[in-house]
Amino acid sequence: MKRFMDEDFLLNSELAEDLYHEYAEKLPIIDYHTHIPVRDIAENRQYHNLSEALVDNPVARRLMRGNGVPEKYITGGEATARDRFQYFAEALEKAAGNPLYTWVHLILRRVFDCRYILSAATADEVWTHCEEKIRDGSVTARSLLADGHVEVLFTADNPEDTLKWHRMLREEGYPVKILPVMHPDAALDIANPEWGNYMLYDLGQTADVDITTMRDVREALAKRIDYFDAMGCRTADHGFPRIVYREAEEYELDDIVGRVVHSKGAPSQEEVEKYQTALLRFLGKQYADHGWVMQIHYGILHDVNQAMKAKLGTGAGFDCISSSSNGEGLAKLLDLLSREEALPRMIISSMNPADEIVIGAILGAFQAAEPGHLQLGPSWWVNQTPAGIRRQFAAMASLGILGTGVGFATDMRSVMFWPCHEYYRRILCDYLADLANQGLYPADQDALGTLIRNVCYENIKSFFHIVKI
């Protein structure tokens, strides 16, 4: 029986141990999908206590709600930081098998050199141990990135953002490359009652375009893409409940945009699909022209608990996986871009792991003359467990080429979570060692080591066209 999280945890053979410690352990980190506020890095945010570091995020709060903690003690301000940490420790103690259990203990060990096992009984000892390091001011956003050997970090930014914090970091010569990622979801979400105001007063005014037609929408986004490109952007990310495809004439699109932007009628579902198809077509071409990666993730429903959204706002831990899937829509979109010779490099994900085989099979029909041009992305929530990550490896290997993959991204909102990359790399090494131990791949450590380095580092640099720092 293995000791809890010893130096070889998640590594179940001698070969797996050798692969991890020899080839994966010290690789730099490139995280291409996060929601880390760039301001935290520009201003070098300092963490003041463990609740701020580990508890005040949607994932931890969701765990506490699952343990029956009243909301007033989670987000309502009726509990001190120390009390919130106690509630969190009580919930985490019961969360056997939850990836958060492993991540938290990885963070305690790698960031705070704390080897206590967190529970209701040990919460005070853990708090006191970590407080000593926090008190000296050394737990900051930049120190965390340096300690984690993070080389490149992508952030999430709206098209109307000025990117002033990115500019500040660039002018300062900050050694970690912090790159913006455009998230045009608000422009795509024409069914949102606030879409018209957003297009007129946020996107439109920033781009200096009076948006009344589909052409205006394209012009405004094209201007912002050019701006983001000049600021080092390499990719754009798009989230949907489901992938749709419905073609339309330009006059139909003008009518839809003009009517909705001026609040003269909500769009029908058919009109939503026509508009989103046209816009994805345009964006795909733009990304191909700029050499960007187009990330699409679907199968997600945001803020399904409307009562809690009204109290806490969006992104507070009330998203869920959708059962809807439309392989035909994805295939038609890729076919359209392919016929127009405008198929960008892409990462396609569904939050529902049941869609992985469908996505992988579709991508195999459109691969271009470049290794791994189209990538099967992870089902973020489900594929963050050892079993989920292994399922994705199996899907990638059976439907494509695992060695052309672009590794792992955390989808996290804090620089505190860089040890999640260690978690992924250990599982990758164990998966490859299993293949070799079963006689399904040669037990050639150099060949396996090269594959590991490529998947965890080199492929990502190449895929996102990252110039070496």
Which overall architecture, per CATH, does domain 153-463 show?
Alpha-Beta Barrel (3.20)
The pLDDT assigned to 421 comes to 95
Check if 46-135 and 153-463 are the same fold.
no
Q: What's residue 324's pLDDT?
A: 66
- Rounded distance between C-alpha atoms, residue 348 and residue 330, angstroms: 9
Q: Which of 47-56, 146-155, 303-312 has the lowest mean pLDDT?
A: 303-312
Q: How far apart are CA 153 and CA 176, in angstroms?
A: 7
Instruction: Decide if 114 contacts 108 (C-beta within 8 A).
Output: yes
pLDDT of residue 314: 80
Strands (E), 142-222: 150-157, 177-182
> What is the C-alpha separation between 455 and 402, in angstroms, rounded?
8
Tokens read off for 192? 């949102």
Burial 313-351 (b: 16+ CB within 10 A, else e): eeebbbbebbeebbeebbbbbbebbeeeebbbbbbbbbb
List the domain boundaries for the chain.
46-135, 153-463
pLDDT at 469: 39
Average pLDDT over residues 405-427: 93
The pTM of this model reads 0.94
Edge-first strand listing for the sheet containing 293-298: 29-31, 150-157, 177-182, 235-239, 293-298, 345-350, 374-376
- pLDDT score, position 316: 76
Predicted confidence at residue 464, as pLDDT, reads 96
State the pLDDT at residue 32.
96
Contact 360, 396 (CB under 8 A): yes
Question: Which tokens hold the place of 58?
Answer: 């949607």
Helix, strand, coil percent content, the chain, rounded in steps of 5: 55, 10, 40
329-374 residue pLDDT tens = 999 999 999 999 999 999 999 888 888 999 999 999 999 878 999 9
Q: Are strands 320-321 and 345-350 parallel, antiparallel or unpaired?
A: unpaired
> What is residue 241's predicted lDDT score, i.e. its pLDDT?
84
More confident residue, 467 or 74: 74
Q: How confident is the model at residue 467 (pLDDT cuts 50, 70, 90)?
A: low
Percent of the chain with pLDDT over 70: 99
Question: Is residue 182 scored above 80 in pLDDT?
Answer: yes
Higher pLDDT, 145 or 76: 145
pLDDT score, position 138: 87
Model confidence over 424-436: pLDDT tens digits? 999 999 999 999 9
Q: How many CB atoms lie within 10 A of CB 145?
A: 23
Task: Provide the H-helix boundaries in 295-373.
Answer: 306-312, 327-339, 356-364
Q: What's domain 46-135's superfamily in CATH?
A: uronate isomerase, domain 2, chain A (1.10.2020.10)
What pLDDT does 110 receive?
A: 96
DSSP letters of 28-97? Answer: -EEE-S----HHHHHTTPBP-SHIIIIISSHHHHHHHHHTT--GGGTTSS-S-HHHHHHHHHHHHTT-TT
Res 381 pLDDT > 80: no
Q: What is the overall mean pLDDT for the chain?
A: 93
Higher pLDDT residue, 195 or 322? 195
374-397 mean pLDDT:
88
Contacts of 263 (CB under 8 A, 6+ apart): 196
pLDDT of residue 309: 81
Angle of CA points 209, 180, 371, to nearest 5°: 110
Alpha carbons within 13 angstroms on the beta-carbon side of residue 94 total 10
Averaged pLDDT, 29-47: 96
Angle, CA of 315, 43 and 229, to the nearest 5°: 70
pLDDT of residue 337: 95
Q: What is the DSSP letter of 340?
A: T
Please, which pLDDT band fits residue 468 given cuts at 50, 70 and 90? very low
Contact between 377 and 409 (Cβ < 8 Å): no
Does residue 306 register a pLDDT over 90?
Answer: no
Q: How many Å apart are CA 239 and CA 189, to the nearest integer?
A: 10
**pLDDT-derived band at 325, boundaries 50, 70, 90:** low
Please say if the pLDDT value at position 379 is more than 90. Answer: no
